[in-house]
Amino acid sequence: MTPPKPTSSCPAAPAPADPRCPVDHGARPAPPPRPASLPPGPRGWPAVGALPLLLRDIYRAPERLRDRYGDVVRVPVPGRAELILVNDPDLVVEVFNRRASDYGKGEMNYALFSSERHLPLPVSDGEPWKRMRRLLSPKFGARQLEAVSPLVREAIEERIDRWQEHVGSGRPVDLDGPWSDLTMSVLLRSMFTTRIDDRTIDEAVVAFRTFAYYAAFKMIATNAPRGLPLPYQRRGERAIRWIHAFLDRMVRERRAAQLPDGGSDILQMLLDAVDDDGRPMTDEELRSELFGLIFGGFETTASALSWTVAMLDLHPDVAATLDDEIAALGDAPPTAADLDRLPYLHAVFDEAQRLQGGPMFSRTPIEDTELGGHRVPRGSIVWISPYALHRDPRHWRDPERFDPARFARDEIHKGAFLPFGLGPRKCMGMRLAYMEAAFALVTARRRYRFRLAPGFVPRHQFHISTGMKGGCPVTLHPPRAAALPR
């Protein structure tokens, strides 16, 4: 039987067909979707790709790439994995929060602690991360931090008292050193209660700084050909051995002490922690987690405090407002209960961290995925630059200006401000860092005024956490000096 010819009332080609037509034409199949393409980006140079651009200025490079190619950029670099730069806060929230389970920490982050058989919480993934997060997270709540706050305050006061010898001397002091000693002292006191002698604190500062340099090179080398010798390798491995021996000794001594009433420090909290099966942490897990906590809280806080001091000296109006808020507390030492009475200090510290800006967070998609309509292959390195996000004029009014009031005045996109990360992987020690910074700034501002060396301009220095080129050179003066030298 010959089928009837299509009529004008029932054209065979277009769909839908006229319902009066006796012929079942069927639905025309939709064309297959075009696969998403890789993001746009520079071609780069033969063999080295865009690596020279990144090495020239790891901070400004993401801004230049964003302005030229958009919010998702493929950055050609030598190595085994694609490097995808993401500059859109909404996509940052997608990677860090809404689809956090689709992304792992990846080889670059694992390299930080490749010396450890147990990866500590900041760089672990999957079930090990979930188990350790359940164990550790309750130990960093408000009540637990209030318990360790006297230890934090004591360590800060002891260290800041020592700065008195520099007052009025006129000799510049690189404040990076004293802040590093202070933050290490605070961390060790809050973790172990016992007063650690000065020599051990100095050795710990050197060991963790050396490890940080070594770890930075290890991270960079994860995408390079295997087998290349690394700068700082011997010194880095020696630092790791010192750190292991020190932490093993602290755990061993605490187990031997068998404190009858437990304790309020972080080590005791970790020793007392058990998972859902009633299983405590092993000594190896304890050592790795203590390693990760000290590493994550040492240089980051010290660098942020140096940036804060520099910004306050450059902006005396902000410093005056902060001093008024501190004066309203009275003369008693600060306590955890005072933190809610220091909103401007919190904003000052946040604004200093915004301008400080870290060079990189990274994640790795577990499977092929898309971001912003572009293909992102499995195993890629998704690069998020806090520095670029913190200074993007689309999300910050007058972004180069130091303006703590913006945190009370403006609506801040949570994906555009990342001093502690975002989502389920947000830094667990954030509350401790804010408490330490508040106690340190209150104590220091009550006792001293800091004047930057003449002509000093803060410039970014690449490291695990962003420092300042040349450190933070200051002279110290009494808090009520009539006129400080410029």
pLDDT block averages, 10 residues each, the chain of length 486:
48 48 55 76 91 91 97 91 95 98 92 89 93 88 90 96 95 96 95 91 96 85 66 88 97 81 78 86 93 93 97 98 97 95 98 95 96 96 97 97 96 96 94 97 98 95 89 94 57
Beta strand 72-75 with 83-86: parallel, antiparallel or unpaired? antiparallel
Select from 173, 149, 174, 157 the least CA-distant residue to 447.
Answer: 157
Q: For residue 78, what pLDDT is reported? A: 86
Q: For residue 9, what pLDDT is reported? A: 45
Q: What are the extents of the domains in the chain?
A: 51-477
Q: For residue 307, what pLDDT is reported? A: 98
Structure tokens at 248: 């093993």
State how far the Cα of 61 lies from the Cα of 357, in Å rounded to an integer.
14
* Cα maximum dimension of the chain: 109
Q: For residue 225, what pLDDT is reported? A: 59
- Number of neighbours of residue 166 by Cβ within 10 angstroms: 18
Three-state secondary structure string covering 324-341: HHHHCCCCCCCCHHHHHH
What is the three-class DSSP state of 94?
Answer: helix
**243 with 209: CB under 8 angstroms?**
no
Structure tokens at 253: 């001594």
Q: What is the DSSP letter of 69?
A: H
pTM of the model: 0.89
Give the containing element (helix H, strand E) for 74: strand 72-75
State how far the Cα of 383 lies from the Cα of 163, in Å rounded to an integer.
40
Q: For residue 286, what pLDDT is reported? A: 94
- Number of neighbours of residue 463 by Cβ within 10 angstroms: 15
Q: Is 21 annotated as a binding residue?
A: no
What is the three-class DSSP state of 403?
Answer: coil
State how far the Cα of 4 lies from the Cα of 225, in Å rounded to an integer.
68
What is the fold, at CATH topology level, of the domain defined by 51-477?
Cytochrome p450 (1.10.630)
Exposure of 331 by Cβ count < 10 A (0-12 exposed, 13-18 middle, 19+ buried)?
Answer: exposed
